[in-house]
């Protein structure tokens, strides 16, 4: 059951990017706030905050969201699997953003619109149960020594790559 939700105070003048972002047990309030900023900037349809992920009006979220928590449609769902099954039933392709194999390179992945991007906990990633319900695993290519990005940074990369692909497609 959705416990809380927020709706934009201003109507978007353009059709939203057909992407929903789901955060599964993201620990940092600041990372959650950063996702609000990214979702606002790219015109994402909705941000879904699950499990222990912080949500408005928690002050750490507002500190990094800088008002985007008032312009992005969002909801809180205690159980990530409930949220994912709901989006899957609506026809969204569920894409787990993961570093582990098997995963397709983000830049080579042909998304099936609409898309639901799923990001996990900063330390533990996504659970096997969440991965099992997803249609595809997508990875951001890493060329350096480190094998991962901060979750909010990864969110920016993935969301903007989808925006690029959507703009280039006839789906818009």
CB–CB of 99/72 below 8 Å? no
Query: What does each C-alpha distance from 98 to 41, 125, 140 come to in angstroms?
Result: 23, 7, 8
Hey, how many other C-beta atoms are within 10 angstroms of the C-beta on 14?
7
pLDDT > 60? residue 12? no
pLDDT > 80? residue 14? no
Per the prediction, the chain carries an average pLDDT of: 91
pTM: 0.91
Decide: helix, strand or coil at residue 134: coil
What confidence tens digit (pLDDT) does each residue in 18-70 have?
999 999 999 999 999 999 999 999 999 999 999 999 999 988 898 999 989 99
pLDDT > 70? residue 2? no
The two beta strands, 17-24 and 2-6, are: unpaired
């Amino acid at each position: 059951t959705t416990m809380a939700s927020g709706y934009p105070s201003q109507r978007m003048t353009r059709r939203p990017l057909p992407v929903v972002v789901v955060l599964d047990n993201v620990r940092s309030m600041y990372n959650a706030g950063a996702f609000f900023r990214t979702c606002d900037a790219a015109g994402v349809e909705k941000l879904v905050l699950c499990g222990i992920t912080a949500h408005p009006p928690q002050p750490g979220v507002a500190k990094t969201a800088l008002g985007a928590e008032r312009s992005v449609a969002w909801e809180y769902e205690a159980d990530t699997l409930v949220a994912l099954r709901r989006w899957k039933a609506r026809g969204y392709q569920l894409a787990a953003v993961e570093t582990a194999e098997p995963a397709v390179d983000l830049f080579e992945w042909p998304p099936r619109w609409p898309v639901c991007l799923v990001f996990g906990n900063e330390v533990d990633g996504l659970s096997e149960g969440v991965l099992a319900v997803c249609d595809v695993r997508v990875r951001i290519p890493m060329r350096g020594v480190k094998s991962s990005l901060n979750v909010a940074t990864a969110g920016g990369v993935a969301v903007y790559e989808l925006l690029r692909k959507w703009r280039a497609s006839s789906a818009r």
